[in-house]
Amino acid sequence: MSSIIQLLPDHVANQIAAGEVVQRPASVVKELLENAIDAKATDIKLIVKDAGKTLIQVIDNGIGMSVTDARLCFERHATSKIRHAEDLFDLHTKGFRGEALASIAAIAHVELKTKQDQEELGHHIIIEGSKFVSQEVAVLPKGTSFLVKNLFFNIPARRNFLKSETVEMKHIMDEFQRVALAHPSIYFTLIHNGSENYNLPSSNYRQRIVNILGGRTNEKLVPVSEDTEIVTISGFVGKPEYAKKSRSEQFFFVNDRFIKSGYLHHAIMSAYDGLLKEGNQPSYFLYLKVPPHTIDINIHPTKTEIKFDDEQALYAILRSSVKHSLGQFNVAPVLDFERDPNLDTPYAYKDKSSDVPLIQVDANFNPFLDEKPIKTSSNSYTSSGNYAKKETAHSWESLYVDLRQDTKEVESLSFESEEVTGSFFESKEVEITPSRTYQIHKKYIVSSIKSGMLVIDQNKAHQRVLYEQFLSNITLKKASSQQLLFPLELHFTKEEMLLIQELIPSLENTGFIFDGIHKDCIHISGIPVSIQESEVSILLEELINGLQNNVPESNFCLNDGIAKTMAKSVAVKTGTYLTELEQENLVNALFACKDPNVSPFNKPTFITLSVEDLDKKFAL
């Protein structure tokens, strides 16, 4: 029998490796930015077109490469970071596998321009699908320019799986933020479709966080600092009152490398125990320095997960340091047994005796000497057995003389009775019938029907009613708005502002009125009638969180998502008391819907219990 196992060609192996390394344009951005940092660059510029599908270019002023290194960097398993297997446990750089550039060159058109400082001329290399097209000598500035065009041009199936431009650009911005936050001393610039999204000059950690997330971020940060033999912790955590529903502002950096760790996240949540509302997530930007030999960063292809030698000790140190910072800056309540030094006796008065105050009494003082005796018509006997004088009413009765005359005139007037014709709910007077509704535990509405009993979930039923109203308003563009006396000013990050700008046309159809849209804030002067002013910021936050990771491709799906999120946020909550009139209006509105059986999230809105079902419960 002939052999069936054979070696794969290099271009096929590179394409398979590219499936692990390059999942989307953001993966290319991450690899190129990390290479620029390893090249000791102090100024890195990222240029993107069409969310990376058309162009990704990273320009740095690093040490550059020689002609030999420029050719070898595109070969598989070629790296300058490691020489032996032991080097994997003593890494101080980002990229070390030697597969990134080979994988990128296998699925895109690549142009590399590089020049070392001591060389007069640089080198220009063009590669298309792992094939070297040309190599030339060129006049170039110091550093490296890596240009990637037409990503997945030879794998159309992978290209079709890419999401919309908004989603892909969000992933690129996520990778850019992670790298920029880890290296505040490097000047970073991000340009997308000709417009500058980020311009981050060299700064410290706090300034870099504020420059990325917005100017209002500075007042939210609480510094954290701890130095032990196991780990050195620095960075910032957010105040509990600024917690959000999303986890978009949570960053762990271990030796300047962004990681994800549910175990360490649990330590942070334990430190915030009792300080957060249910469902809220705190913000944190924590930088951990550990000895390289105590971690293993080669357990995941994307290098975002790390295995620690002593996780339990790290958990305890991280939890206590965050809890200490929250208490030290009066964010969390603490027990403080230190006495106030201002209450201590001064040293000069230590042996000095205290002065006895002098008491002087005026024996001739009589408080009743200048008062005139008051004549009383009767005396009252007190509980102590003494007679107490009762003042007459002549003095205060004179104050009401004119008022009595005015009162007689008012009594002679007659007023027409005014009949109240309106009510909050526009409906006729409810008659008490056998089918009246009842509320149970401020959660369910019960009503009798011909075949038995109807039990309605008030929250899910209201979601269905509001969902169809919002979706109708968005589609027909006839929603009514209520004007605000004072416009609302809400602040968001640049990443969230990109998503809000996509949602504004649909939000305006629901009743929102936007007066101004800036880089990091929006001004709202009108809101839908069914929404309270205090709910606007919560609603927009939930709307952003719900659509942030999965922006729909079609406009209808986008409108549907907005209507669902708004209905879920505004619907009457469990635990809310409803009057009998409100219960009946909700029931009538539910069964007037096109699909009253399920909520917008496909949960049942009501159940029915027949008389037979009830009889079975009582059967012996």
Cβ-count burial 230-251 (b if 16+ within 10 Å, e if not): bbebbbbbbbbeebbebebbbb
> What does the block give as tokens for 143?
């550093």
Residues 602 and 453 in one domain: yes
Residues 64 and 213 in one domain: no
Q: Looking at the domain assignment, is residue 370 inside a domain? A: no
Domains in the chain: how many in total? 3
Give yes or no for a contact between 190 and 146, defined as CB atoms under 8 angstroms apart.
no
List the one residue out of 511, 494, 497, 488 whose CA is nearest residue 562.
Answer: 511
pLDDT of residue 505: 83
Residues 44 and 163 in one domain: yes
Cβ neighbours around 214 below 10 Å, total = 19
CA distance 530 to 571: 10
Q: Which helix (H) or strand (E) holds 567?
A: helix 555-570
Backbone angles phi, psi at 49, to 5 degrees: -130, 135
Per-residue model confidence as pLDDT tens digits over 537-567: 888 888 887 666 555 555 567 788 888 888 8
CA distance 353 to 345: 12
Q: Looking at the domain assignment, is residue 530 inside a domain? A: yes
Q: Looking at the domain assignment, is residue 3 inside a domain? A: no
List the one residue out of 615, 611, 595, 592 whose CA is nearest residue 603.
Answer: 595
Cβ neighbours around 152 below 10 Å, total = 19
Give the DSSP letter string of 286-353.
EEEE--GGGEE--SSTTS---EES-HHHHHHHHHHHHHHHHHHTTSS-----PPPGGGSPPGGGSSPP
Q: What is the amino acid identity at position 83?
A: R
Q: Looking at the domain assignment, is residue 21 inside a domain? A: yes
DSSP SS3 for 191? strand
CA distance 614 to 452: 8
CA distance 115 to 66: 7
Which residues have a Cβ under 8 Å from the Cβ of 211 and sit 6 or more positions away? 198, 200, 201, 203
Residues 451 and 594 in one domain: yes
Q: What number of helices (H) and strands (E) belong to the chain?
A: 17, 24
Q: Looking at the domain assignment, is residue 387 inside a domain? A: no
Q: Looking at the domain assignment, is residue 65 inside a domain? A: yes
Q: What is the amino acid identity at position 591?
A: F
- Which CATH number characterizes residue 14's domain? 3.30.565.10
> What does the block give as tokens for 4?
């069936």
DSSP SS3 for 105? helix
Residues 195 and 288 in one domain: no
Last residue of a domain, one of 281, 302, 328: 328
Q: Looking at the domain assignment, is residue 346 inside a domain? A: no
Give the DSSP letter string of 603-620.
-BSEEEEEHHHHHHHH--
Which residues have a Cβ under 8 Å from the Cβ of 602 and sit 6 or more positions away? none
CA distance 525 to 487: 5
Residues 236 and 114 in one domain: no
pLDDT of residue 443: 92
Last residue of a domain, one of 158, 178, 200: 200
Which residues of the chain have a pLDDT value below 50? 96, 376-394, 396, 399-400, 403, 406-413, 415-434
Give yes or no for a contact between 543 and 595, defined as CB atoms under 8 angstroms apart.
no
Residues 172 and 247 in one domain: no
Backbone torsion region of residue 108, taken as left when φ is above 0, otherwise alpha when ψ lies between -120 and 50, otherwise beta: beta
Residues 34 and 163 in one domain: yes
Residue 303's domain comprises: 208-328
Q: Nearest-5° angle of CA 330, CA 336, CA 339? A: 120
Which residues have a Cβ under 8 Å from the Cβ of 619 and sit 6 or more positions away? none
- As a whole number of Å, the end-to-end CA separation of the chain is 74
Last residue of a domain, one of 200, 234, 249: 200
Give yes or no for a contact between 58 and 44, defined as CB atoms under 8 angstroms apart.
yes
CA distance 135 to 387: 120
CA distance 527 to 486: 12
Q: Which helix (H) or strand (E) holds 257?
A: strand 257-259
CA distance 331 to 325: 8
Residues 464 and 517 in one domain: yes
Give yes or no for a contact between 79 and 185, defined as CB atoms under 8 angstroms apart.
no
Residues 145 and 249 in one domain: no
Report pTM.
0.69
CA distance 87 to 329: 42
Q: 9 vs 14, 16, 499, CA distance in Å?
A: 9, 11, 43
Residues 184 and 138 in one domain: yes
Per-residue model confidence as pLDDT tens digits over 171-183: 899 999 999 999 9
pLDDT of residue 349: 64
The radius of gyration computed from the CA coordinates of the chain, to the nearest angstrom, equals: 37
Cβ neighbours around 289 below 10 Å, total = 13
Q: Looking at the domain assignment, is residue 45 inside a domain? A: yes
- Which CATH number characterizes residue 214's domain? 3.30.230.10
Residues 25 and 152 in one domain: yes
Cβ-count burial 576-607 (b if 16+ within 10 Å, e if not): eebeeebbbbbbebbeeeeebeebbeeeebbe
- Which CATH number characterizes residue 561's domain? 3.30.1370.100
